Each structure stands twice: as C-alpha cells, then as structure tokens.
Amino acid sequence: MRFLRFLHRPEAEWFDLRRLTRPKRQRFQGRIRQLTQFAYLGDGVGLCRVLGRYKLYVDTQDVGVSSHLMLDGYWELWVTEVLVAHLRRGMVAVDVGANLGYFTMVMADLVGASGKVHAFEPNPSVVRHLRRSTHVNGFRERVAIYSDPLGEHDGERVVLDVPDFYPGGTTTVPAPADAEDGVLTMRRMDSYPELADADIIKIDAEGAEQAIWRGMTGIFARRRPMMILLEFVRGRYDDPEGFVDEMIAEGFALNQVTATKSLRPITRREILDLPPEEDIMLILVR
C-alpha cells in the first residue's frame, strides 16, 4: 500500500523551489543532488534532471556549467535564490547569456503561464540544447529564444569566439570585412519592443555587460521599477568606473549577493576596489 500511495504522489519527488533560501541552502543542496539524474544520449549530448524539477540538455564535453549540472543538479544557488525571492506569476524576465538555459527554466517556472521569459544566446550549438530543454519542460509558449548577440550598436557585424570545451565562455569579436560564414548582427536590447516592460533582467555575457547596458537606455527611460542581476568583472571593461556611474545615474541601488552572503548593499568604492579578475553578481534595484 505504501508503494501504491507513492505512485499516486509523484510530486513528492519534486524539489519545492519556493523553499530555497540561504539559511536552508546546505540542507537542500544534498537533497537536490539526491534527485539529480543523468542519461547520455550520444554525440556529446546528455539529459539531466536539475533542481529536482527540470530536464536539461547538456554538452558532456563542457567543463563549465554542464559538469556541475550533471553531477550536482544546480548552478549558483545564491543567484537562484534571488530569482525565487523576487520573480512572481505574470512577470516579464530576460535572461541575457542564457547558455544551456538553467536560469531560463527557473524563470519560466516562476513567472508561470501568464508571464514571459526572453532568453538570449548567440552560440548556435548551445541554442539547440536550450530549445530542446524549453520544449521538454513544457515552457515553449512562455519562453522566447533569440540568437542575436546584444550590444551598444544595432547592425554591427560580429563573429563568435568559442573556447574549446567551454561554450559558456563564448564572446563576440568584430567580423572581418570579407567574412560571410558565421557572421551575426548585433542588436540593442531596447530595439525589442517586447522587452520594454521587463521586471527582472539577468546579464552574464563574458565581458559584454557594459556594451549591453548602453544598449538598454530606451528601457531605462521608462523609469519603471525593475531588478537587474549583472555579473561584474572590473578587469573586463575599458571604463569600469564609468560603468558603475552609469548604473547609479539610472537610479539603481547597488547590492551584491554571494555564495555566503545574502543580498547586501555595496558601495561604488567597494566595487571598484575589487581585484580586476574577481567576478561578482551585482543586484541592481530601482
């Protein structure tokens, strides 16, 4: 009888995402690992269960996020916690640098059928995984996927630079004048009308964050309350001081979240005094 009751309660095997908070994180990490499953599909493609809830297609040769998802079933839980705490049904979320779609799936689940998620990922091999994951989790209607690289200027021709065994480290470089294959066209984020009312935007773009920010001025001009999760690495930017000043000028309060600390205010000086290679997740709120 106990076995039959279990069969009729499959939701008992699902991790309750809304329970994820920093004080309980260590306990839940073990539970998520217990629920992690992996199946190799061939040709370097795997399918794993992450966060005890979602099915995610991964690249088995990826030494980046795929390795963590296959073995642990989660990625950057401190960032996941911020999304859980602030995303609600019906909201509009944007995932820039979506990679395989771990955060895209979390966002799509949290905003529900009445919300919308816009995921940007220019690497075509990664986008194939992202699209399959969106479909298999039943989020096809609430997730829009874009393969356009984002930046400061519309129309700039670029090509992708993809490190071996690390697709998540993909960057864009100007395309040679005579290049034809693999050329992509840069877009400003504010050139997409559907993003004008975004509630939460996550930007993790391997050093392109400042250029992407400058392509968002039309969104900022609406003066709507919003939250931006932005990976900041001082040494990647030509003008890090100017970048932080631009955030403040748009009315955003500066906060930081880390693996050991919940959301806390951080000053301009603290950000600019960080080692140039240290990456932090800024939480910008207005």
Q: Where are the domains of the chain?
A: 75-285
Q: CA 221 to CA 216: how far, in whole Å?
A: 9
Report the chain (286 residues): mean pLDDT per 10 consecutive residues: 39 75 83 95 98 97 97 96 96 98 98 98 97 98 97 96 94 92 96 98 97 98 97 97 98 93 93 96 98
**What is the per-residue pLDDT for 1?**
40
**What is the per-residue pLDDT for 62?**
97
**What is the per-residue pLDDT for 161?**
95
Q: Does domain 75-285 have CATH number 3.40.50.150?
A: yes
**What is the per-residue pLDDT for 35?**
94
SS3 of the chain: the string is CHHHHHHCCHHHHCCCHHHCCHHHHHHHHHHHHHHCEEEEEECCEEEEEECCCEEEEEECCCCCHHHHHHHCCCCCHHHHHHHHHHCCCCCEEEEECCCCCHHHHHHHHHHCCCCEEEEECCCHHHHHHHHHHHHHCCCCCCEEEECCCECCCCCCEEEEECCCCCHHHCEEEECCCCCCCCCEECECHHHCHHHCCCCEEEECCCCCHHHHHHCCHHHHCCCCCCEEEEEEEHHHCCCHHHHHHHHHHCCCEEEEECCCCCCEECCHHHHHCCCCCCEEEEEEEC
Check if the beta carbon of residue 165 is closer than 8 Å to that of residue 63: yes
- Please give the structure tokens belonging to residue 145: 């996927």
Check if the beta carbon of residue 272 is closer than 8 Å to that of residue 234: yes
**What is the per-residue pLDDT for 13?**
64
**What is the per-residue pLDDT for 3?**
35
Q: CA 274 to CA 172: how far, in whole Å?
A: 25
pLDDT digits (tens, 9 = 90+) for 145-188: 999 999 999 999 999 999 999 999 999 999 998 888 999 999 99
pLDDT digits (tens, 9 = 90+) for 194-224: 999 999 999 999 999 999 999 999 999 999 9
Q: CA 104 to CA 109: how far, in whole Å?
A: 9
**What is the per-residue pLDDT for 2?**
41
282 forms beta bridges with 230, 256
Q: What is the pTM of this model?
A: 0.93
**What is the per-residue pLDDT for 6?**
34
